Amino acid sequence: MTTRWKPTVTVLAAVLSLIAGCGDDGDSGEVRNLGTDGAATSSSAAGGGVTTSSMGGESPEACEVEGGVTTKGKQEVTVVLNEWQVAPQPAQVTPGIVSFVAENTGAEAHELVIVKGDDPRALPKDDKTGAMDEEQLPDGALVGEIEGFPAGQLCAGNFTLQEGKYVLLCNIVETEEDGTSEAHYSEGMFTGFTVG
């Protein structure tokens, strides 16, 4: 009798261990796959409050967030990224932790960079590429970013924002076949964002 129940107990222990490992501990992200019928399935993944979703049913790539926090904010801002637009909804929030959900509806990879600044057009530019020059930003101006991710995916990250004016932008630079650079920032992928 012991031999007969041993495999069942082992399977039960493995299932319970798996269930315990998938619990929400507040420090893990969530990976959501959206199937072709629109149904969502979820699983936990390490990543500091990061969400990855595939809008077309294929397997999503993991999102990478810099400067984010693990705690999800009470305020969520959806940011649509495409050629050549950054469109947040809503465009104003109150200070605190803000959860940005970046949705890449374009044909190319995009990223979401959050910078403290009054004028989206006045950020320092790299003379060679036309990208925003992060090295020339004032100390503390670069809040963080959801790094580049493919078309047809959602990526999310949580950021602590103080009262003030911000710029949301894509700072990807592509090298064309003829050797010229295409900077998404120079193409107009930026917008103002207000916290207050």
pLDDT attached to residue 22: 33
Domain ranges of the chain: 2-195
Q: And the tokens for 42?
A: 């979820």
181-183 and 173-175 beta bridge pairing: antiparallel
pLDDT attached to residue 181: 84
pLDDT attached to residue 89: 98
Q: And the tokens for 170?
A: 């894509």
pLDDT attached to residue 130: 93
Burial classification of residue 38, based on how many CB atoms lie within 10 Å of its CB (0-12 exposed, 13-18 middle, 19 or more buried): exposed
Q: What's the predicted TM-score (pTM) here?
A: 0.73
Walk across the sheet containing 75-82 and list its strands. Answer: 40-46, 28-34, 51-54, 153-161, 96-104, 75-82, 85-89
Q: Which CATH superfamily is domain 2-195 in?
A: Cupredoxins -  blue copper proteins (2.60.40.420)
CA distance 107 to 117: 28
φ/ψ bin of 47: left (φ > 0), alpha (ψ from -120 to 50), beta (otherwise): left
Residues of the chain with pLDDT under 70: 1-61
3-state secondary structure of 55: coil
Q: What is the pLDDT of residues 93-125, one digit of tens each?
A: 999 999 999 999 999 999 999 999 999 999 999
Confirm if 144 and 167 have CB atoms less than 8 A apart.
Answer: no
Radius of gyration (Cα) for the chain, nearest Å?
20
